[in-house]
Structure 1
Amino acid sequence: MKKLISLIAFLYCFHAAAQEDAWVFLKDKPNAATFLASPLTMLSQRALDRRTRQNIALDNKDVPMETTYYSQIKSATGITVLAKSKWLNAIHVQGTPINIKNLKTTYNTFVEKIEFADKTLNAKGRVHQSSTTPKRKNKFEKTSTTFNYGNATNQITMLKGDFLHQQGYTGTGMYIAVIDGGFLNVNTLAAFKRLRDNNQILGGYNFADRNTNFYTRDNHGTNVLSTIAGYIDGQFIGTSPDAKFYLFISEISETETVLEETLWVEAAEKADSLGVDVINTSLGYTTFDNANYNYTYADMDGKTTFISRGAEIGVSRGMILVNAAGNDGRIDNPWKYIGAPADVAGVFTVGAVNATGTIADFSSYGPTSDGRVKPDVLAQGQNVYVINHTTGDPVTSNGTSFSSPIMAGVVACFWQAFPNLTNTQIMQRIRESADRYNSPTAQYGYGIPNFENTYNTVLSVDGQEFLNATTVYPNPVTNRLTIKTSLQNLENTKIQIYNVIGKKVFQKNSLTTKTIDVSALSSGIYILKITNGNQQNTIKLIKK
């Protein structure tokens, strides 16, 4: 009996001493008014411009975390601070359950609540249901890679991405962030030379190691980036070759921990602050090295996991978050569902098909646990071309890890064509163009989009509405003419003025301001043509 009591006491002490992960949620941001009054202390001008275009107001989620709160938690006894999120106003800590729970008592004035990754330690904990929890798996699982020196034509033409390229929309002016596990050799491979020579890599950060070396760790991000931005003349081209990129490492490839969720949220926050338009994430979370942290299908509701809550806020900031559905769809897999943050309503979740448009057997299933359609759309992810991180040659590989960035690149090109549309409008137009939009299924979602069709639809509907709402003043004009339009990004807008006999007397190919100087024109009647892509509006102009 004495031995049994001793064993129980030992086990209790062991459990009490075990290091656990938890998030400490803070109550407020006492200096919020000061930051909101000076937006450039929180966000870049480009980020603010993106908000303005989409009529998104700044709020407390944009405000940095209170530094005094953070410092006190960091200096608490037995607590290790690993990461933080301003969006969720939460600090990721490790410590014993006792020390972590003491934070709520000690700092009750500013600690709102504590959430343990092991939900059985929470006040309203639950027991994990192994029957609905996936087995631990390789996070970058994919089938064998074989060398094949073809080109990437099919993965672009399937989506009609080549049509957008032909219209001149190749990602110019768009910022894409890739959040992944590493970008080995992107700084040296010839397939990324065009990207480097044109200064299209704007920067990045290694959140896993807390340093600026993002050309390290895993090659998964290298393969992912190649499908968007790789270029080998005559052999390979990515879906958005002229976009600019930020490269972020949030994944610790040798482990699977909930810390990676928080690091991802940090990376997404950084992307937002830099004015990124599109984020690609070829990652997903369901299981961890510590099985007590595993999620169940019930958790795939877009609101439960830390990363999904962060992603939901990211969408609300006006970015498009493109995410891989996952590779668990095989029929013999008891867990065949999408992971987090692919379960978020506003995240653009991408499944995989083969070259003929048939679903890849590994592509994960929806719906979400609360019954929403997922994935949103599909792109080629089986026998897809990527750049090998060692040789720099095109090879074939498999996974929604690649259907996602292929889609992200085309999405960026499409948004370049219609910068006046919001992120939610862009995603909905793409869904509506997919081949199963009227009859979505659990694994196909809404199906394969057709970007040529949706481009033409937007031109005829949204584009015409824009042009009808575009005018100039004053008219008659003396010296300076102002263009009145809802369009904020004027880089793709061209102005041409013709006299009454059809001779072009003025042209400006890219507007940097809505005001133009026409003082050099003689008095008379002119025809002014405003062009944005294939959209045109013609206005009679009288010069005094």
Structure 2
Amino acid sequence: MNNHRTKLLVISALCLWSFLGSHALFSQNTSTYSERSHTPNQDLRAMAAKFKKRAIANKSEAVKKARAHGWKVTEELPGGGYRELQKVGPGGTPIYKESFNEVVVKGNRTNFLSRDFSDHFGVDGTGMTIGIWDGGKALPDHQEFDDRFSVGDNARRVSGHATHVLGTAIAAGVDPQAKGVAFNANGQSFDWNQDEGEAAEAAANGLLISNHSYGLSGRNLPDWYFGSYVNQAQDWDEIMHAAPYYLMVTAAGNSQHLEYNDEPLTGTAADGYDLLLGFALSKNGLTVAAADQLEVNANGELLSADIAYFSNFGPADDGRIKPDITGAGVNVYSAYDEGEDSYKTLSGTSMASPGVAASLLLLQQYYHIAFGDYMKAATLKGLVLHTADEAGDFPGPDARFGWGIINSKRAAETIDAVGVNTRIDENQLGNGEEFAMNVTAREGETFSVSLSWTDPAYSGKMHGRVNDSTRVLMNDLDVRVIKGDEVFYPWRLSLSDIRGGAKKGDNRVDPFEKIEIENASGEYKIVVSHKGELVNISQDFSLIVTGVAESGCSTVVPSNTIVEEVLINEAVVSWDLEKDAYYEVRYKKSSDDNWLSKMVDENRISLSSLEENTEYMLEVRTVCSALMGSEYAKAVVFTTKPSENNTDDPVDNPGDTPVDNPVDNPGDTPGDDPVSDPVDNPFEVPIDGPADNPGEVAPEVPEIGDAPNPDEPLGEVVREEDPSEVGWGDDDDYYGVINDPEAVPEEDIIIIKSNESQTISLSGNTNGLGAYFMTDAVGRVIAEGQDASNPISIASLSSGMYILVYEVGTERAFKKFIK
């Protein structure tokens, strides 16, 4: 068995482990955070207490000052906005937090990220939780949230803005136009008064993603605040560094056209640059700008995009690339607080940010399904920036769009292709160390390498100087790509030419660096190093690499599918070989709706136990990993021979022709021996779908994993063998569902599906069957019962992949089936 095949099957095992493990983790409490074993230590909880205490004291002092000076403590703004006094800043300036939405506008828009994920990647946020901080709590009784929403603090004010933001992230789609990006995720709503302490505490409990569609109000701030790394940015960097799996997503703000900053880094106040404030300038967070006129085709490819007229431009005063990313933020239709069935259409970076945050939550879910773990925040941030669509007037990042328009589909495809043509690695660099690896680029493609890390909070203080360019990066890591004598450098902004586009060179300010090499060819060396002394002795970092040849496999549709031989109950089919590939073959009687599926590692398959004198259809596709496969090739049709024509010498079968692509059958010649050693690899899984839909997604590679409770043995999985002892390459291991129980040995337990009665039944060696439960593909329990020996109804299930987990004596086993 080759290494690629081993990797493929191990990944498959991890997939099923995560399905079953999700049930064990999340079924006990649906409001549980997306937790993992890397829970931050007690220092993070102490930090939370410190920030909460300070926020209370600051607010109390500010309210006293407000009474003395006649300041407003709270204020409702046009278009549903809101601002609230938080503290008194340097020089006695009142500091307000303000929600970032513009005006109510006409028109509806459905977020394409939700469509991409629900249709193609099969994740919807189930079992995941997003934290939403805002100027109040979302409307608890809104019909879009049902029991997936809770209030995380003692917030009393119900906010239309918060309701809209939460709806953009997780709305169920009662009104289909308002369906959220992660429409089955859980949400926790907080007000912003103690956001730092509450977020630190939530991160200590395992929160992965939070959204903040607000920020400092620029209406009354002195110019030096704009672009400056003030203590608010510093505090959030401290939180994220202490919780390396937690990522804060924040809106860039909406004052581009309001001319708040009279002394910007470039141009005049009317040009809209240098307007970012507060935590939007943190090094480790993800700051989101808003796109207008965003056009995407049916394949998820960006056709055009403009920056919204209100979206704030950067960069940071030290030249860091901010904002980081851009999302759809104009004419977003979502839930509102005027009633449990109320909705509004709003525009703003407030609307762009939760769409991006929820997309990141889905990427975490997808990665967890694939590999049984979550990405560190630096990995997730790096992946999203690495895969963004180019936008703006020049190649590379800029101070308006950041790294471009978020492309969650491409990010998920990068996860799909790990081990084939991408890498996602998490490593650590010690003081004085250098990390290096050699890779081979895919000929003629763009070879890209990104380095991302969560940097410690800046240790100094910055206030009072306009456009202070002091670098706040603590650990200055570097990535270089080397080929022979040529060295390739990452993108960086130049403070002397902010509007002229990014240049390539030594980046000394950003905790994210990206190198792009077009028309790459041959071998390259990737080197990660650092300047000076590292704070805390070492620094974790993440590498995202695309356009590399990790495997020779390519997800091309198989060509030249030929029916070589047909007998009474057997057939042999072949196709052109693709290097390092697996193949998924599905076939069925032409009169049936259900497909049977087999996995093979050769470009040829022998089918047995076919019905005589019956027409069959067969399709094949290339599979490179558990998550990465081609479309199916055009079907071939063949008819098995009737028994009265059974002879030692096969005869021509002119009916054996591919649909729309007739070919000869050179294997059907007199004198050939009948098939005597058919491939005995029936990973047979029926797949519902019409015969004329060859593109219907079939199940991926068979997946073998642990029981929901890791302390209990899994029991019978295949041929009564413990999964730890199963040879991954044993082609005679049964897996899945078939409709013909006589085609398998009696000692196997199989699933028989009845389309007429809409039930499944376990058949074979069923002694000792007990209780069972069923989960969907993301681990949610959707049915359970006490006796797995009886038929189990699947009438209420929608089409998709499911897992039946059942007791056999004192052990557990599982079967996957497709409805």
- TM-score with structure 2 length normalisation? 0.41
Equivalent residue letter for 1:385: Y
Unmatched tracts of structure 1, length 5 or more: 1-44, 71-81, 97-115, 122-127, 129-134, 208-212, 251-259, 469-492, 534-544
Q: Give the match for residue 186 of structure 2.
A: 244
User: 1:298, 1:369 within 8 Å by CA — same for their partners in 2?
Assistant: no
Aligned: 1:145 with 2:104: yes
> Which structure 2 residues correspond to residues 288-437 of structure 1 after superposition, within 5 A?
294=221, 296-297=223-224, 300-302=227-229, 304-306=230-232, 308-314=234-240, 316-317=242-243, 318-330=245-257, 332-334=259-261, 336=272, 337-356=275-294, 357-390=305-338, 392-419=341-368, 420=373, 421-436=375-390
Structure 2 residue matching 1:205: 3-state secondary structure: coil
> How far 1:516 moved relative to its partner?
2.8
* Aligned partner of 2:90 among 109, 113, 119: 119
> How far 1:206 moved relative to its partner?
2.8
User: 1:228, 1:405 within 8 Å by CA — same for their partners in 2?
Assistant: yes
User: 1:331, 1:361 within 8 Å by CA — same for their partners in 2?
Assistant: no
Equivalent residue letter for 1:406: G
Q: Which consecutive aligned stretches of 4+ in structure 1 deviate over 6 angstroms post-superposition?
A: 45-48, 135-138, 462-468, 505-510
Equivalent residue letter for 1:84: K
Q: Give the match for residue 517 of structure 1.
A: 715
Q: Give the match for residue 44 of structure 2.
A: 61
User: 2:289, 2:323 within 8 Å by CA — same for their partners in 1?
Assistant: yes
User: 2:61, 2:88 within 8 Å by CA — same for their partners in 1?
Assistant: no
Q: 1:383 to 1:60 in 2, by over 3 A?
A: same
> How far 1:405 moved relative to its partner?
0.5
Aligned: 1:179 with 2:133: yes
Q: Give the match for residue 448 of structure 1.
A: 405
> How far 1:161 moved relative to its partner?
3.9
Q: 1:118 to 1:136 in 2, by over 3 A?
A: closer
Q: 1:203 to 1:274 in 2, by over 3 A?
A: farther
Q: 1:117 to 1:233 in 2, by over 3 A?
A: closer
Q: 1:358 to 1:465 in 2, by over 3 A?
A: closer
Q: Aligned equivalents of 1:143 and 1:466: distance in 2? A: 38
Aligned: 1:218 with 2:159: yes
> How far 1:388 moved relative to its partner?
3.2
| Identity over aligned pairs, percent | 20
Question: Comparing both chains, which one has the higher relative contact order based on Cα–Cα distances under 8 Å and sequence gaps of 6 or more?
Answer: 1
> Which structure 2 residues correspond to residues 11-90 of structure 1 after superposition, within 5 A?
49-50=35-36, 52=38, 58=41, 60-63=43-46, 83-84=52-53
Alpha-carbon deviations, 1:12-38, whole Å to 9, x = none? xxxxxxxxxxxxxxxxxxxxxxxxxxx
Bigger shift: residues 404-413 or 415-424: 415-424
Equivalent residue letter for 2:315: P
Q: Aligned equivalents of 1:147 and 1:409: distance in 2? A: 24
Equivalent residue letter for 2:231: T
Q: Aligned equivalents of 1:225 and 1:325: distance in 2? A: 18
Equivalent residue letter for 1:119: P
Q: 1:161 to 1:431 in 2, by over 3 A?
A: farther
Aligned: 1:168 with 2:141: no
> How far 1:300 moved relative to its partner?
3.7
Structure 2 residue matching 1:84: 3-state secondary structure: helix
Structure 1 residue matching 2:124: 3-state secondary structure: coil
Structure 2 residue matching 1:232: 3-state secondary structure: coil
Q: Aligned equivalents of 2:284 and 2:37: distance in 1? A: 17
Equivalent residue letter for 1:330: H
Q: 1:188 to 1:63 in 2, by over 3 A?
A: closer
User: 1:178, 1:225 within 8 Å by CA — same for their partners in 2?
Assistant: yes
> How far 1:274 moved relative to its partner?
3.5
User: 1:83, 1:93 within 8 Å by CA — same for their partners in 2?
Assistant: no
Alpha-carbon deviations, 1:480-534, whole Å to 9, x = none? xxxxxxxxxxxxx99xxxx94415699778852566323883478645799x99x
Bigger shift: residues 356-365 or 264-273: 264-273
Bigger shift: residues 230-239 or 275-284: 230-239
Q: Give the match for residue 205 of structure 2.
A: 274
> How far 1:217 moved relative to its partner?
3.5
Q: Aligned equivalents of 1:457 and 1:394: distance in 2? A: 35
Structure 1 residue matching 2:137: 3-state secondary structure: coil
Q: Aligned equivalents of 1:206 and 1:183: distance in 2? A: 9
Q: Aligned equivalents of 1:384 and 1:172: distance in 2? A: 23
Q: Aligned equivalents of 2:424 and 2:216: distance in 1? A: 41
Q: Aligned equivalents of 2:150 and 2:344: distance in 1? A: 27
Equivalent residue letter for 2:247: I
User: 2:166, 2:187 within 8 Å by CA — same for their partners in 1?
Assistant: no
Q: Give the match for residue 254 of structure 1.
A: none
User: 2:161, 2:336 within 8 Å by CA — same for their partners in 1?
Assistant: no
Q: Aligned equivalents of 1:382 and 1:48: distance in 2? A: 30
User: 1:281, 1:324 within 8 Å by CA — same for their partners in 2?
Assistant: yes
Q: Give the match for residue 415 of structure 2.
A: 458
User: 1:328, 1:338 within 8 Å by CA — same for their partners in 2?
Assistant: no
> How far 1:267 moved relative to its partner?
2.2
Q: Aligned equivalents of 2:47 and 2:318: distance in 1? A: 32
Structure 2 residue matching 1:401: 3-state secondary structure: helix
Q: Aligned equivalents of 2:717 and 2:345: distance in 1? A: 59
Q: Aligned equivalents of 1:221 and 1:329: distance in 2? A: 22
> How far 1:320 moved relative to its partner?
1.6
Structure 1 residue matching 2:417: 3-state secondary structure: helix
Structure 2 residue matching 1:517: 3-state secondary structure: coil
Q: 1:327 to 1:459 in 2, by over 3 A?
A: same
> How far 1:365 moved relative to its partner?
1.1
Q: 1:48 to 1:279 in 2, by over 3 A?
A: closer
Q: Aligned equivalents of 1:327 and 1:520: distance in 2? A: 58
Q: 1:51 to 1:323 in 2, by over 3 A?
A: farther
User: 1:315, 1:321 within 8 Å by CA — same for their partners in 2?
Assistant: no
Equivalent residue letter for 2:719: L
Q: 1:49 to 1:328 in 2, by over 3 A?
A: same
Q: 1:61 to 1:229 in 2, by over 3 A?
A: closer
- TM-score with structure 1 length normalisation? 0.59
> How far 1:359 moved relative to its partner?
0.5
User: 2:58, 2:88 within 8 Å by CA — same for their partners in 1?
Assistant: no
Q: Aligned equivalents of 2:126 and 2:212: distance in 1? A: 21
Q: 1:165 to 1:308 in 2, by over 3 A?
A: farther
Equivalent residue letter for 1:516: L
Q: Aligned equivalents of 1:93 and 1:503: distance in 2? A: 64
Q: Give the match for residue 32 of structure 1.
A: none
Q: Aligned equivalents of 1:359 and 1:425: distance in 2? A: 26
Unmatched tracts of structure 2, length 5 or more: 1-30, 63-86, 263-271, 295-304, 426-549, 551-625, 628-678, 686-701, 737-776, 779-819
> How far 1:344 moved relative to its partner?
0.6
User: 1:47, 1:272 within 8 Å by CA — same for their partners in 2?
Assistant: no
Q: Aligned equivalents of 2:682 and 2:123: distance in 1? A: 29
Q: Aligned equivalents of 2:47 and 2:95: distance in 1? A: 35
Equivalent residue letter for 2:246: M
Q: How many residues align?
A: 375
Structure 1 residue matching 2:98: 3-state secondary structure: coil
